[in-house]
Amino acid sequence: MQFEVVGFNELKALYLEDLDFAEAWKDCKELVTLDRTKWLDFIIRDDILFKGSQLCIPRSSLRDNLIKDKHSGGIAGHSSQDKTIAIISEHYYWPELSWDVKKFVQSC
């Protein structure tokens, strides 16, 4: 899967058509929706989508960059799969985070 390189300034535009977050974005932006129960944990702050306190990361190179940075960064070197997931999920969210980390760590 090919992703474009993005920074945090581009997140808003990506949410609109992202397979993981477009529906949540739309329902959170609309003042009145028929059934928002699926997205109760999601909020928009400063035009950025969050699930609780976790920043939602659309399908983009940002996901790969976060995984690479959190797995390979720091003095300790390469963290375990579970440690990498824990570090990332402390501040960031996307539905397949665990799967993406697993694939990255296996190929590392």
Task: Give residue-wise pLDDT tens across range 67-88.
Answer: 998 888 765 567 788 999 999 9
Task: Give residue-wise pLDDT tens across range 23-55.
Answer: 999 888 876 666 667 888 999 998 899 999 999
The pTM (predicted TM-score) of the whole model is 0.84
Helix (H) or strand (E) holding 49: strand 48-51
Residues 6+ apart with CB under 8 A from 31: none
Every domain of the chain and the residues it spans: 8-56, 62-107
